[in-house]
Amino acid sequence: MRQIIGRLIFLIGTLVICYPLYAGIFNHVTDDIRLRQFAKKSQIEQKTRLDTLRKTNEEMERKGLNVQYDPFKEDATFDEVVLNEHLIGELTIPKLSATMPVFDTITNQILENGAGVIPGTSQPTGGRNSHSVISAHRGLAERELFRDLNQLKKGDVFILTILGETLAYQVIHLDTVLPEDTEVLKMEENRDLVTLLTCTPYMVNTHRLLVTGERIPWDTTLTKTKDAAKQKSYLKQILLFVGVLIGIVILIASLWRQIWLYRMSRRKFTLVFYDVPKKRCLVRRIIFKYLCRSWIRPR
Protein backbone atom coordinates (compact mmCIF):
# COMPACT_ATOMS: atom_id res chain seq x y z
CA MET A 1 0.00 0.00 0.00
CA ARG A 2 2.89 2.35 0.74
CA GLN A 3 4.19 1.93 -2.77
CA ILE A 4 0.78 2.83 -4.23
CA ILE A 5 0.57 5.97 -2.10
CA GLY A 6 4.15 6.87 -2.98
CA ARG A 7 3.56 6.50 -6.71
CA LEU A 8 0.26 8.38 -6.49
CA ILE A 9 2.00 11.29 -4.76
CA PHE A 10 4.74 11.17 -7.39
CA LEU A 11 2.14 11.26 -10.19
CA ILE A 12 0.32 14.23 -8.66
CA GLY A 13 3.61 16.05 -8.11
CA THR A 14 4.65 15.43 -11.71
CA LEU A 15 1.32 16.77 -13.00
CA VAL A 16 1.74 19.91 -10.89
CA ILE A 17 5.33 20.45 -12.04
CA CYS A 18 4.36 19.91 -15.68
CA TYR A 19 1.47 22.39 -15.47
CA PRO A 20 3.35 25.14 -17.35
CA LEU A 21 4.02 22.69 -20.19
CA TYR A 22 0.49 21.50 -20.88
CA ALA A 23 -0.99 24.91 -20.02
CA GLY A 24 1.40 26.44 -22.55
CA ILE A 25 0.34 23.88 -25.17
CA PHE A 26 -3.34 24.64 -24.50
CA ASN A 27 -2.73 28.40 -24.72
CA HIS A 28 -0.78 27.98 -27.96
CA VAL A 29 -3.72 26.10 -29.51
CA THR A 30 -6.16 28.72 -28.20
CA ASP A 31 -4.09 31.55 -29.69
CA ASP A 32 -3.85 29.76 -33.01
CA ILE A 33 -7.63 29.29 -33.17
CA ARG A 34 -8.23 32.93 -32.21
CA LEU A 35 -5.84 34.20 -34.89
CA ARG A 36 -7.28 31.90 -37.57
CA GLN A 37 -10.80 33.12 -36.82
CA PHE A 38 -9.57 36.71 -36.89
CA ALA A 39 -7.92 36.17 -40.29
CA LYS A 40 -11.28 35.03 -41.71
CA LYS A 41 -12.85 38.44 -41.16
CA SER A 42 -13.89 40.19 -44.36
CA GLN A 43 -11.42 42.49 -46.06
CA ILE A 44 -13.92 45.34 -45.83
CA GLU A 45 -14.22 44.94 -42.06
CA GLN A 46 -10.44 44.79 -41.63
CA LYS A 47 -9.85 47.80 -43.90
CA THR A 48 -12.45 49.85 -42.02
CA ARG A 49 -10.75 49.17 -38.72
CA LEU A 50 -7.30 49.74 -40.21
CA ASP A 51 -8.40 53.17 -41.44
CA THR A 52 -9.66 53.98 -37.94
CA LEU A 53 -6.30 53.10 -36.40
CA ARG A 54 -4.46 55.15 -39.01
CA LYS A 55 -6.61 58.18 -38.21
CA THR A 56 -5.65 57.67 -34.56
CA ASN A 57 -2.00 57.74 -35.61
CA GLU A 58 -2.50 60.95 -37.59
CA GLU A 59 -3.85 62.61 -34.46
CA MET A 60 -0.99 61.10 -32.45
CA GLU A 61 1.48 62.59 -34.95
CA ARG A 62 0.10 66.07 -34.29
CA LYS A 63 0.06 65.70 -30.50
CA GLY A 64 3.14 63.53 -30.02
CA LEU A 65 3.52 60.42 -27.88
CA ASN A 66 2.10 60.44 -24.37
CA VAL A 67 2.99 57.21 -22.57
CA GLN A 68 0.35 57.24 -19.87
CA TYR A 69 1.60 54.57 -17.48
CA ASP A 70 3.84 51.62 -16.84
CA PRO A 71 1.77 48.48 -17.53
CA PHE A 72 3.83 46.42 -15.09
CA LYS A 73 3.39 48.55 -11.98
CA GLU A 74 1.97 46.54 -9.09
CA ASP A 75 -0.81 49.08 -8.55
CA ALA A 76 -1.73 49.34 -12.23
CA THR A 77 -5.41 48.56 -12.78
CA PHE A 78 -7.31 48.26 -16.03
CA ASP A 79 -10.88 47.70 -17.10
CA GLU A 80 -11.77 44.23 -18.36
CA VAL A 81 -12.43 43.97 -22.09
CA VAL A 82 -13.63 41.46 -24.65
CA LEU A 83 -10.40 40.15 -26.16
CA ASN A 84 -11.69 39.62 -29.69
CA GLU A 85 -12.92 43.22 -29.87
CA HIS A 86 -9.36 44.50 -29.37
CA LEU A 87 -7.44 41.89 -31.37
CA ILE A 88 -5.68 43.51 -34.34
CA GLY A 89 -3.17 40.89 -35.47
CA GLU A 90 -0.09 38.95 -34.49
CA LEU A 91 3.58 39.45 -33.70
CA THR A 92 6.17 36.93 -34.91
CA ILE A 93 9.77 36.92 -33.66
CA PRO A 94 11.61 34.43 -35.91
CA LYS A 95 14.79 34.21 -33.82
CA LEU A 96 12.74 33.13 -30.78
CA SER A 97 10.26 31.01 -32.78
CA ALA A 98 7.56 33.00 -31.00
CA THR A 99 4.14 34.07 -32.28
CA MET A 100 1.53 35.86 -30.18
CA PRO A 101 -1.70 37.87 -30.56
CA VAL A 102 -1.47 41.67 -30.60
CA PHE A 103 -4.22 43.85 -29.11
CA ASP A 104 -4.80 47.57 -29.59
CA THR A 105 -4.64 48.44 -25.89
CA ILE A 106 -3.43 47.18 -22.50
CA THR A 107 -5.40 45.46 -19.75
CA ASN A 108 -4.55 42.77 -17.20
CA GLN A 109 -6.54 40.30 -19.27
CA ILE A 110 -4.69 41.23 -22.45
CA LEU A 111 -1.30 40.94 -20.75
CA GLU A 112 -2.24 37.40 -19.71
CA ASN A 113 -3.15 36.46 -23.29
CA GLY A 114 -0.69 38.25 -25.53
CA ALA A 115 0.92 41.59 -26.31
CA GLY A 116 -0.79 44.98 -26.24
CA VAL A 117 -0.16 48.48 -27.53
CA ILE A 118 0.51 50.93 -24.70
CA PRO A 119 -2.04 53.77 -24.80
CA GLY A 120 -0.51 57.09 -25.75
CA THR A 121 1.68 55.51 -28.45
CA SER A 122 1.04 54.90 -32.16
CA GLN A 123 -0.90 51.89 -33.38
CA PRO A 124 1.34 49.45 -35.31
CA THR A 125 -0.11 50.14 -38.75
CA GLY A 126 3.09 51.48 -40.30
CA GLY A 127 3.77 54.95 -41.61
CA ARG A 128 6.32 57.70 -41.08
CA ASN A 129 6.42 59.74 -37.90
CA SER A 130 5.03 56.85 -35.86
CA HIS A 131 6.32 54.98 -32.84
CA SER A 132 4.28 52.10 -31.45
CA VAL A 133 5.18 50.54 -28.10
CA ILE A 134 4.05 46.92 -27.71
CA SER A 135 4.26 45.34 -24.27
CA ALA A 136 4.03 41.77 -22.97
CA HIS A 137 5.02 39.73 -19.91
CA ARG A 138 8.19 37.67 -19.49
CA GLY A 139 7.41 35.74 -16.33
CA LEU A 140 4.12 33.94 -17.05
CA ALA A 141 4.53 30.23 -16.34
CA GLU A 142 1.97 29.19 -18.95
CA ARG A 143 3.03 31.53 -21.78
CA GLU A 144 6.41 32.42 -23.29
CA LEU A 145 5.51 35.81 -24.85
CA PHE A 146 8.57 38.08 -24.29
CA ARG A 147 10.40 35.64 -21.98
CA ASP A 148 13.47 35.46 -24.23
CA LEU A 149 13.27 38.99 -25.62
CA ASN A 150 16.73 39.77 -24.21
CA GLN A 151 18.20 37.33 -26.75
CA LEU A 152 17.47 39.71 -29.62
CA LYS A 153 20.41 41.63 -31.05
CA LYS A 154 20.88 44.49 -33.49
CA GLY A 155 19.96 43.34 -36.97
CA ASP A 156 17.37 40.76 -35.86
CA VAL A 157 13.91 41.05 -37.38
CA PHE A 158 10.39 40.87 -35.95
CA ILE A 159 7.22 40.80 -38.04
CA LEU A 160 3.78 42.32 -37.41
CA THR A 161 0.66 41.20 -39.27
CA ILE A 162 -1.96 43.86 -38.50
CA LEU A 163 -5.44 43.74 -40.05
CA GLY A 164 -4.18 42.10 -43.23
CA GLU A 165 -1.03 44.26 -43.53
CA THR A 166 2.36 42.59 -42.95
CA LEU A 167 5.19 44.80 -41.68
CA ALA A 168 8.81 43.91 -40.91
CA TYR A 169 11.06 45.71 -38.42
CA GLN A 170 14.80 45.36 -37.89
CA VAL A 171 16.23 45.89 -34.41
CA ILE A 172 18.32 49.08 -34.30
CA HIS A 173 19.00 49.37 -30.58
CA LEU A 174 18.25 47.86 -27.16
CA ASP A 175 17.90 49.88 -23.95
CA THR A 176 17.45 49.08 -20.28
CA VAL A 177 15.74 51.88 -18.37
CA LEU A 178 13.90 52.54 -15.12
CA PRO A 179 10.09 52.19 -15.26
CA GLU A 180 9.54 55.94 -14.96
CA ASP A 181 12.02 56.81 -17.73
CA THR A 182 9.63 57.32 -20.65
CA GLU A 183 11.64 60.06 -22.35
CA VAL A 184 13.33 57.47 -24.57
CA LEU A 185 9.95 56.65 -26.13
CA LYS A 186 9.44 59.39 -28.67
CA MET A 187 8.69 59.92 -32.35
CA GLU A 188 11.52 60.53 -34.77
CA GLU A 189 10.94 62.50 -37.94
CA ASN A 190 10.21 60.40 -41.05
CA ARG A 191 10.88 57.14 -39.20
CA ASP A 192 8.55 54.18 -38.66
CA LEU A 193 9.47 52.64 -35.29
CA VAL A 194 8.11 49.88 -33.07
CA THR A 195 9.45 49.17 -29.58
CA LEU A 196 8.91 45.87 -27.76
CA LEU A 197 8.77 46.51 -24.00
CA THR A 198 8.99 44.08 -21.10
CA CYS A 199 10.37 43.71 -17.57
CA THR A 200 14.00 42.97 -16.75
CA PRO A 201 15.91 41.30 -15.10
CA TYR A 202 13.83 38.15 -15.45
CA MET A 203 11.54 37.65 -12.41
CA VAL A 204 13.13 40.68 -10.68
CA ASN A 205 11.42 43.35 -12.79
CA THR A 206 13.17 46.44 -11.45
CA HIS A 207 13.86 47.83 -14.95
CA ARG A 208 12.33 47.81 -18.41
CA LEU A 209 13.89 46.29 -21.51
CA LEU A 210 13.20 48.21 -24.73
CA VAL A 211 13.90 46.58 -28.09
CA THR A 212 13.35 49.11 -30.86
CA GLY A 213 13.03 48.20 -34.53
CA GLU A 214 12.75 50.30 -37.67
CA ARG A 215 10.58 49.38 -40.64
CA ILE A 216 12.33 47.63 -43.52
CA PRO A 217 11.00 46.70 -46.99
CA TRP A 218 9.13 43.41 -47.25
CA ASP A 219 10.48 40.66 -49.49
CA THR A 220 9.97 36.95 -50.16
CA THR A 221 12.85 36.00 -47.86
CA LEU A 222 10.94 37.43 -44.91
CA THR A 223 7.88 35.40 -45.90
CA LYS A 224 9.95 32.21 -45.71
CA THR A 225 11.45 33.36 -42.41
CA LYS A 226 8.01 33.97 -40.92
CA ASP A 227 6.63 30.61 -42.11
CA ALA A 228 9.70 28.75 -40.82
CA ALA A 229 9.35 30.39 -37.39
CA LYS A 230 5.70 29.36 -37.17
CA GLN A 231 6.45 25.79 -38.22
CA LYS A 232 9.23 25.55 -35.65
CA SER A 233 6.88 26.85 -32.97
CA TYR A 234 4.20 24.29 -33.93
CA LEU A 235 6.76 21.46 -33.96
CA LYS A 236 7.99 22.50 -30.52
CA GLN A 237 4.45 22.38 -29.12
CA ILE A 238 3.77 18.99 -30.72
CA LEU A 239 6.96 17.50 -29.27
CA LEU A 240 6.13 18.92 -25.84
CA PHE A 241 2.60 17.50 -26.04
CA VAL A 242 3.82 14.04 -27.09
CA GLY A 243 6.53 14.03 -24.41
CA VAL A 244 4.15 15.06 -21.62
CA LEU A 245 1.50 12.57 -22.81
CA ILE A 246 3.97 9.67 -22.91
CA GLY A 247 5.29 10.55 -19.46
CA ILE A 248 1.79 10.70 -17.96
CA VAL A 249 0.78 7.40 -19.61
CA ILE A 250 3.89 5.68 -18.22
CA LEU A 251 3.21 6.99 -14.71
CA ILE A 252 -0.47 5.97 -14.83
CA ALA A 253 0.45 2.50 -16.16
CA SER A 254 3.01 2.09 -13.37
CA LEU A 255 0.44 3.13 -10.77
CA TRP A 256 -2.18 0.78 -12.23
CA ARG A 257 0.27 -2.14 -12.18
CA GLN A 258 1.08 -1.41 -8.55
CA ILE A 259 -2.63 -1.39 -7.69
CA TRP A 260 -3.15 -4.68 -9.56
CA LEU A 261 -0.26 -6.31 -7.70
CA TYR A 262 -1.66 -5.08 -4.41
CA ARG A 263 -5.11 -6.49 -5.18
CA MET A 264 -3.60 -9.82 -6.22
CA SER A 265 -1.64 -9.97 -2.99
CA ARG A 266 -4.89 -9.67 -1.02
CA ARG A 267 -6.58 -12.57 -2.80
CA LYS A 268 -6.45 -16.12 -1.46
CA PHE A 269 -5.97 -19.17 -3.63
CA THR A 270 -6.36 -22.79 -2.62
CA LEU A 271 -4.00 -25.11 -4.42
CA VAL A 272 -4.47 -28.87 -4.24
CA PHE A 273 -1.63 -31.12 -5.37
CA TYR A 274 -2.02 -34.82 -6.12
CA ASP A 275 0.74 -37.33 -6.37
CA VAL A 276 0.18 -38.94 -9.77
CA PRO A 277 2.40 -41.70 -11.14
CA LYS A 278 4.64 -40.42 -13.87
CA LYS A 279 3.20 -42.62 -16.59
CA ARG A 280 -0.37 -41.53 -15.90
CA CYS A 281 0.36 -37.77 -15.78
CA LEU A 282 -1.76 -36.03 -18.43
CA VAL A 283 -0.34 -32.50 -17.98
CA ARG A 284 3.35 -31.95 -17.54
CA ARG A 285 5.60 -29.06 -16.66
CA ILE A 286 3.00 -26.83 -15.02
CA ILE A 287 4.71 -23.65 -13.78
CA PHE A 288 3.30 -21.72 -10.82
CA LYS A 289 4.29 -18.09 -10.20
CA TYR A 290 3.52 -16.52 -6.86
CA LEU A 291 4.30 -13.32 -4.99
CA CYS A 292 4.94 -12.89 -1.32
CA ARG A 293 3.33 -10.03 0.64
CA SER A 294 6.18 -7.69 -0.20
CA TRP A 295 5.08 -8.12 -3.87
CA ILE A 296 8.58 -9.28 -4.73
CA ARG A 297 8.75 -12.44 -6.75
CA PRO A 298 10.89 -14.92 -4.79
CA ARG A 299 13.88 -16.39 -6.55
Q: How does pLDDT run across 103-145, given as a tens digit for each residue? A: 999 988 899 999 999 999 999 999 999 999 999 999 788 888 9
**Taking residues 146-174, what's their average pLDDT?**
95
| Of 130, 133, 138, 103, residue with least CA distance to 118 | 133
Window from 76-90, 97-111, 250-264 with minimum mean pLDDT? 76-90
Could you read off the pLDDT of 136-157 as tens digits, one per residue? 999 788 888 999 999 999 999 9
Window from 10-19, 43-52, 166-175 with minimum mean pLDDT? 10-19
| Of 68, 158, 161, residue with least CA distance to 121 | 68
Buried b (16+ CB within 10 A) or exposed e, 59-86: ebbeeebebebbbbeeeeebeebebeeb
| Of 88, 216, 224, 220, residue with least CA distance to 164 | 88
- Per residue, what are the HEC states of 116-127? EECCCCCCCCCC
Most confident of 73-87, 190-204, 239-253: 190-204
**Strand, helix or coil for residue 169:** strand
Contacts of 131 (CB under 8 A, 6+ apart): 65, 121, 122, 185, 186, 187, 188, 191, 193, 194, 195
- How sure is the predictor about 269, in pLDDT bands with cuts at 50, 70 and 90? low
Domain 2-241 -> CATH class: mainly beta
Contact 100, 31 (CB under 8 A): yes
Query: ∠ CA(213), CA(219), CA(221), 5° rounding?
Result: 95
Contact 207, 201 (CB under 8 A): yes
Higher-pLDDT residue of 261, 165 = 165
pTM to 2 decimal places: 0.76
pLDDT at position 258 is 80
Cis (ω within 30 of 0) for the bond into 201?
yes
pLDDT at position 90 is 94
Contact 239, 247 (CB under 8 A): no
At 19, which amino acid appears?
Y
Q: Is a pLDDT exceeding 80 seen at residue 94?
A: yes
Could you tell me where the DSSP H helices lie in the chain? 2-17, 19-39, 43-63, 83-86, 108-111, 220-266
- How sure is the predictor about 26, in pLDDT bands with cuts at 50, 70 and 90? confident
Catalytic positions: 137, 199
Window from 47-51, 89-93, 257-261, 266-270 with minimum mean pLDDT? 266-270
Contact 89, 102 (CB under 8 A): yes
**Taking residues 249-274, what's their average pLDDT?**
76
| Of 110, 85, 224, residue with least CA distance to 159 | 224
Q: Enumerate the β-bridge partners of residue 169.
A: 158, 215
**Taking residues 180-196, what's their average pLDDT?**
91
- Per residue, what are the HEC states of 11-65? HHHHHHHCHHHHHHHHHHHHHHHHHHHHHCCCHHHHHHHHHHHHHHHHHHHHHCC
